[in-house]
Amino acid sequence: MGPPVTELTDRARDIFRAVVDGYVATGVPVGSKTIAVASGLNLSPASIRGVMQELEELGLLASPHTSAGRIPTERGLRLFVDGMMQALEPSAEERATIESRVGYHGPVEEALAATTAALSGLSACAGLVMVPKRELALRSIGFVGLSPDQAMAVLVSEDGSVENRVIQLPAGMTQSALIEAGNYMTATLGGLTLAEARARIERQLVEERAELDVAARTLVERGLAVWSEDGARRPVFIVRGQSRLIDAAAAADLDRVRDLLDDLEGKQEIANLLDSASAGDATRIFIGAENKLFALSGSSVIARPFRGAGGRVVGVVGVIGPTRLNYARVVPMVDFTAATLARLMG
């Protein structure tokens, strides 16, 4: 742990902030001459170098390679985020961009993906969102014949979203059997989730209480099997904007970028990290090696849970990028996105 920010002198805090601001803006080490010219501190480069050396000895700054400039360490960034950061609220235009994606008309997953893409674009990071496997409540199920051995199963959920799947038909299936199976499923399963629907159908078929002929019964079983399988594979983790992680500064460190993209491919590990952020209401900030997942890539994650009806946590939204994130700008943006998604899921 580094020293508390209150233990730094005013001069040290000002110079440290100047290094952080310069590094976040450019991605390159910040030198004493740059600070002397741009910061308005009225200090000589020699005086600034002396303070920077002290900050390096405290573990807050580092001098990479042979550069005369300094960059904040992960410990320094943690000190900055926890004790010095002044949040910059999203602009009216940025808020409108995020809210317009949440208002997308269609399946919830598409609205989540669109919102994540908007957050990615505004933050210049990769956007992340994780939601539980969604239990669709059914409104109706129907079957449309495509050929003698195939039909389109059409599922309409209570939120109005429509999804289609092609299924194989039993031999000898007639149009009347397709209609009978669809009518039976809609009348029997309306308002139930897929899991509840499958349990009810299986129970009725076992107890011989389903008034269906053999062909329609087989179709009902196959239809529910297709939808249940699909539901089990529903994406719970969405990533958008990976290409934004490769900027001019990152291009000089391709190994780090490669490690970061590999981290994103390991979706389950990232999902586990986001899940750990779902406890409580606060925004969580993971900086570099504070989480072993990012020890190689030197990445940061900013994540915040959002709640749905009844105040229950229904997901986590956030961003991932290099440790030189503009935390003051991105943290409030993630907070606003979480609040907006809460309205979508409420």
d(CA 335, CA 131) in angstroms, rounded, equals 16
d(CA 319, CA 138) in angstroms, rounded, equals 33
* Mean pLDDT of all residues belonging to the chain: 81
Amino acid type, 108: V
- In terms of pLDDT, which residue wins out, 170 or 36? 36
Hey, how many other C-beta atoms are within 10 angstroms of the C-beta on 89?
A: 12
- In terms of pLDDT, which residue wins out, 89 or 66? 89
Q: What is the secondary structure of 84-95 as a DSSP string?
A: T----PPPHHHH
Q: Which of 212, 308, 299 is nearest to 253 (CA)?
A: 299
**C-alpha dihedral over 88, 89, 94, 99, to 10 degrees?**
150
Hey, how many other C-beta atoms are within 10 angstroms of the C-beta on 142?
A: 18
**Per-residue confidence (pLDDT) for residue 256, from 0 to 100:** 64
**What is the DSSP pairing of strand 61-62 with strand 71-72?**
antiparallel
d(CA 278, CA 295) in angstroms, rounded, equals 22
From the number of C-beta atoms within 10 Å of its C-beta (0-12, 13-18, 19+), residue 37 rates as exposed
Q: Partners of 156 in the beta sheet?
A: 140, 162
**Per-residue confidence (pLDDT) for residue 37, from 0 to 100:** 86
Q: What Å distances lie between residue 272 and 147, 169, 268, CA to CA? A: 44, 40, 6
User: Are 193 and 136 a contacting pair, CB within 8 Å?
Assistant: yes
pLDDT bucket at 46, cuts 50 / 70 / 90: very high
**Per-residue confidence (pLDDT) for residue 194, from 0 to 100:** 73
From the number of C-beta atoms within 10 Å of its C-beta (0-12, 13-18, 19+), residue 316 rates as buried
pLDDT bucket at 232, cuts 50 / 70 / 90: very low
Hey, how many other C-beta atoms are within 10 angstroms of the C-beta on 134?
A: 20
User: Are 303 and 283 a contacting pair, CB within 8 Å?
Assistant: yes
Which two tokens mark 112? 């989540």
- Tell me the average pLDDT across 104-118: 80
Q: Encode pLDDT of 199-222 as tens digits.
A: 887 777 676 666 666 767 777 777
**Per-residue confidence (pLDDT) for residue 266, from 0 to 100:** 61
